[in-house]
Amino acid sequence: MRRFPLPSAGTLLAPMLALSLVALLSAAIRADDAPVAISASAETFAFTPDKIVAHARVPLTIELTLTAGVHGIASDELGIPTTLIRPHRPVMVSFTPKTTGDVVVHCAFVCGIGHDGMAFTVHVEP
C-alpha cells in the first residue's frame, strides 16, 4: 500500500494564521468604515436622522432600513442611483461626494400622503 506523507504542523498552521490575520484586518477596516445607519418611517414619512455629515472625495456608505411601506432614495448630485427600500431588507448605498455643501436627498418612491416632504440632508464638509 502506498503511503502519502502527512503535512507538518507548520505547513498546516501557516495558511490558517494568514487567514486569521486577513480576517482581523478586514474587521478593523470595517470598523473604521462603518456605514451610517438611516431608517425610513412609513408612519411619519421621515428619514432618521434627517441630516448626516460626509466629506468631499471620501467614500461613505449608508445603511437604509425600513419596517413598513416602501420608500427610496436617489441623488444625481451625489451619484446615488434610484434605490428602493423595502421592509426588513436593509440596503447599503455607497457614494463619494465630489463637492462641499448641503445636498437634500428626497424620497424617490411615491409612498403616500407625506411623500413630498420626505427627505434627508447630506452635509458635505471639506
Question: Is 66 a binder of Cu ion (CB under 5 A)?
Answer: no
Least spacing, CB of residue 40 vs Cu ion, in Å: 8
Minimum distance from residue 44 beta carbon to Cu ion (Å): 12
Angstrom CA distances, 43 to 15, 68, 89, 112, stand at: 51, 8, 17, 10
User: Which residue in the set 38, 80, 107, 122 belongs to the binding site for Cu ion (CB under 5 A)?
Assistant: 107
Binding of Cu ion by 111 (CB under 5 A) = yes
C-beta neighbour count of 12 within 10 angstroms: 11
At 24, which helix (H) or strand (E)?
helix 9-32
Nearer to Cu ion by C-beta: 100 or 112? 112
